[in-house]
Amino acid sequence: MEACGLVVEYNPFHYGHQYHLKQARKETDADCMIAVMSGNFLQRGEPAILDKYHRAKAAILGGVDLVVELPYAYAVQNSDHFARGAIETLFHSGVSAVCFGSESGNIAAFTDAYQLQKEHLYAYEANLKRYLNQGFSYPDAATKAYRHISGLSEILDVSQPNNILGLGYVRAIKDAHYPIRPVTIQRIENNYHDTAITGKIASATSIRKEVLTNTSTSASAADSMPDETLQILTSYKQKAGHWHDWELYFPFLKYRVQTMNAAELEQIEGVIEGLEHRIKRTAAEASTFQDWMHALKTKRYTWTRLQRIFVHILTNTKKEEQILGHDTGYVRVLGMNKTGQTYLNQQKKQADLPFITKINQISHPFLQIEERAAKAYYSVLAADKQRNFFLQEMTSPIIVK
């Protein structure tokens, strides 16, 4: 069996993902579609609306065959590390192709950009450093440095976050010489609504309205959710009492920062350049999470970078854990269907790393982080619910017949 990998967060699963899946299956002729998915905290430094198990289930119902977890150590990081961790996880899952969305749908733009960067690596890095020193954020500095080396004939618009990620996947594959074919599919945003879909949507209007009112989901995103996703959203809220967003965590985050001294805060992953003082100073005045972010934000520190730091504070993730300094030691399966099961059974015989499901199945520094992250994620639920939700980490993966 051949497998194709996708890198996703599924927060939550929508028709765009379904379209992407179908196209990827067609392009790669793969038997098994594997999604490597962020856990409870996302790359933008946000809690996912639903926990990873419910998002995995929605993805499988939407057409994914196997969902594996992108470890927190890679998921809550800048796009370079995120991309590298995702590709490594997919490689160890045995994929022969990786498919990602892009504006152009032209893979040559990515492979050429990769070659260009590689050939001018010295100039690129010198310029990157220069722009960083001038106070630009990492994404802005990287875009400017890239434009410098590409001159007038810009082959890839790296100011687009999705293009940065795509280039990251290509780089991770090529740098490691993985036998994986990178594939890109042109993204469609609002043009995939055929009448069949519109018909389906109508049947779930009330749920969609609730999703819109209670989450930061945009109208077009809510419109594009399959009934299965909407049902999972609703049942999660019934079971958990909440959809998760930063404001729910704000009291915990503020309490935590206000009972740490600056030296302790400085030990947290991502807290550099005296940011600990700025975070402490702004904490007392903040009445909401949004308030606090606006008080913290500067040109140098992007919104997402600051949010990732807040996730690390919330989960007590420290520099001394060297979260990027460990080898991937396992592939963790969150859920699958029958195809995924067949693929997994075949793959287990030839895989170089163990496939695990339970958090306590083996011992690995990443799994200690997953445990803390899961406990922090469920902290906002009623005490008696926390335990049941956490138990998912210790039991079998989601299996969709």
Q: Does 192 bind a copy of itself (CB under 8 A)?
A: no
User: Min. distance of Cβ 242 from a copy of itself in angstroms?
Assistant: 13
User: Min. distance of Cβ 293 from a copy of itself in angstroms?
Assistant: 14
d(CA 298, CA 193): 39
User: Min. distance of Cβ 9 from a copy of itself in angstroms?
Assistant: 22
Nearer residue to a copy of itself within complex by CB, 76 or 333: 76
**Cα-based distances in Å from 218 to 134, 206, 215:** 35, 15, 8
Nearer residue to a copy of itself within complex by CB, 130 or 280: 280
Nearer residue to a copy of itself within complex by CB, 69 or 393: 393
Which of positions 349-378 make contact with a copy of itself (CB under 8 A)? 368, 372, 375-376
d(CA 322, CA 233): 35
Q: Does 301 bind a copy of itself (CB under 8 A)?
A: no
Q: Does 390 bind a copy of itself (CB under 8 A)?
A: yes
User: Min. distance of Cβ 244 from a copy of itself in angstroms?
Assistant: 14
Which of positions 236-295 make contact with a copy of itself (CB under 8 A)? 250-252, 254-256, 258-261, 264, 284-288
Which residues make up each annotated binding site? 7-20, 101, 162, 187-188
Q: How buried is 80 (Cβ within 10 angstroms: 0-12 exposed, 13-18 middle, 19+ buried)?
A: middle
Which residues make up each annotated binding site for ATP? 7-20, 101, 162, 187-188
Q: Does 387 bind a copy of itself (CB under 8 A)?
A: yes
d(CA 246, CA 268): 19
Site string for a copy of itself, 88-107 (x = CB under 8 A): --------------------
CB within 8 Å of 92: residues ≥ 6 apart: 328, 331, 351, 352, 353
Q: How many residues bind a copy of itself (CB under 8 A)?
A: 29
Q: How buried is 203 (Cβ within 10 angstroms: 0-12 exposed, 13-18 middle, 19+ buried)?
A: exposed
Site string for a copy of itself, 62-81 (x = CB under 8 A): --------------------
Is residue 100 within 8 Å of residue 173, measured between CB atoms?
Answer: no
Q: Does 388 bind a copy of itself (CB under 8 A)?
A: no
d(CA 139, CA 161): 9
Nearer residue to a copy of itself within complex by CB, 144 or 256: 256
Site residues (vs a copy of itself, CB under 8 A): 250-252, 254-256, 258-261, 264, 284-288, 314-316, 368, 372, 375-376, 379, 383-384, 386-387, 390
